[in-house]
Amino acid sequence: MAKISLPFDRETMRSILIQTVSASKCRNGSLRYWLSAGHGDFHLSPSGCAESTFYAIVTQSSTSSDHTGIKVITSSIPIKPPVFATMKSVNYLPNALCQMEAEENGCFASIWLDSEGFVAEGPNMNVAFVTYDKELMMPRFDKILSGCTAKRVLKLSQELVKKGDIRGVSTRDVTVEEGKNAEEMMLFGSGVLVRPIVQWDDQVIGNGNEGPVARALLELLLQDMKSGPSTVRTPIPY
């Protein structure tokens, strides 16, 4: 959609990413990468850019992830239209303002609503709920980013269905009333993994404590990261 040509074929780009992680010696951190139109003039059109450029950076995680319950608020920042919200880009000004708004109000994150008033997503995280009749529900991905962590958790959650911990999983329109009256609420994302929410605006979620489904999903995800199938893990030659 950004109309940027790839500087290398996909397999070469994958090899570059693996080599970057290997060279960093980082075993607990994040790999981020970007595709740019490249250096050139300051006009809007990329026609003045010499060639597309691929960037990759590895960051070491300084501390262990915190998975205690958090508070969120409803964002007053306009959400991006679906055509931009569903793609991963560096158009992060609305996301940054959304996060800053939360921090200014003493909260961990803000929750966006879509143009129809349904629950959408966090600034760079997906949001999910567990109803009192044990349905794990998440907003549909047609207006928001389909996060990799969220999609993986949805797949792993079938283990909880098999065990009877939840009765089913769905992606659908979720009203604010449904969300605030859920038994559990949580965020999914590469930076937070699974983070339980105990209060949304002035509404306490469930009994105000981290819920069992959020804890179970976190354990499933951590186990998947350590010993999951080769389709979701890539060996690094350190």
Q: Do residue 142 and residue 48 come from a single domain?
A: no
C-alpha distances in angstroms, 107 versus 65, 72, 99, 103? 17, 5, 9, 5
Q: Copy the structure tokens of residue 53.
A: 């450029």
Average pLDDT of the residues in 140-161: 97
Q: Copy the structure tokens of residue 39.
A: 């250096």
Compute the distance between CA of residue 48 and CA of residue 77 in angstroms, rounded to an integer. 33
Q: Do residue 156 and residue 200 come from a single domain?
A: yes
Average pLDDT of the residues in 150-178: 98
| pLDDT band with cut points at 50, 70 and 90 for residue 83 | very high
Average pLDDT of the residues in 204-232: 97
Question: How many structural domains are present in the chain?
Answer: 2
Domain-embedded: residue 198: yes
Cβ-contact 164, 194 below 8 angstroms:
no
Which domain, by its residues, includes 56? 10-60
Of the residues 3, 80, 88, 155, only one is catalytic, namely: 88
Q: Do residue 175 and residue 203 come from a single domain?
A: yes
Q: Do residue 55 and residue 74 come from a single domain?
A: no
Compute the distance between CA of residue 3 and CA of residue 98 in angstroms, rounded to an integer. 27
Q: Do residue 112 and residue 16 come from a single domain?
A: no
Distance, first Cα to last Cα, the chain: 35
Domain-embedded: residue 35: yes
Q: Do residue 175 and residue 76 come from a single domain?
A: yes
Q: Do residue 26 and residue 80 come from a single domain?
A: no
Average pLDDT of the residues in 73-82: 97
Q: What is the pTM of this model?
A: 0.93
Domain-embedded: residue 238: no
Given 42, 60, 78, which residue is the final one in a domain?
60
What string of H, E and C letters represents the secondary structure of 73-89? EECCCCCCCHHHHCCCC
Domain-embedded: residue 130: yes
Cβ-contact 180, 73 below 8 angstroms:
no
143 catalytically annotated? no
* Count of alpha carbons within 13 angstroms of residue 155, beta-carbon side: 10
Q: Do residue 81 and residue 156 come from a single domain?
A: yes
Domain-embedded: residue 192: yes
CATH code, domain with 80 = 3.20.10.10
Q: Do residue 155 and residue 37 come from a single domain?
A: no
| Residue 77: CB atoms within 10 Å | 18
pLDDT averaged over every residue in the chain: 96
Compute the distance between CA of residue 214 and CA of residue 162 in angstroms, rounded to an integer. 16
Q: Do residue 100 and residue 205 come from a single domain?
A: yes
Q: What is the pLDDT of residue 63?
A: 62
Q: What is the pLDDT of residue 1?
A: 72
Domain-embedded: residue 103: yes
Q: What is the pLDDT of residue 42?
A: 87
Domain-embedded: residue 203: yes
* Per-position DSSP letters for the chain, written without gaps between them: ------SS-HHHHHHHHHHHHHHHT-SSEEEEEEEE--S--SSSSGGG-SS-EEEEEEEE--SPPP-S-EEEEE--SPPPPHHHHTS--S--HHHHHHHHHHHHTT-SEEE-B-TTS-B---SSSEEEEE-TT-EEEE--TTSS---HHHHHHHHHTHHHHHHTSSSEEEE----HHHHHT-SEEEEEETTTEEEEEEEETTEEPTTSS--HHHHHHHHHHHHHHHH--TTT------
Average pLDDT of the residues in 143-156: 97
Q: Do residue 49 and residue 128 come from a single domain?
A: no
Domain-embedded: residue 117: yes
Q: Do residue 22 and residue 111 come from a single domain?
A: no
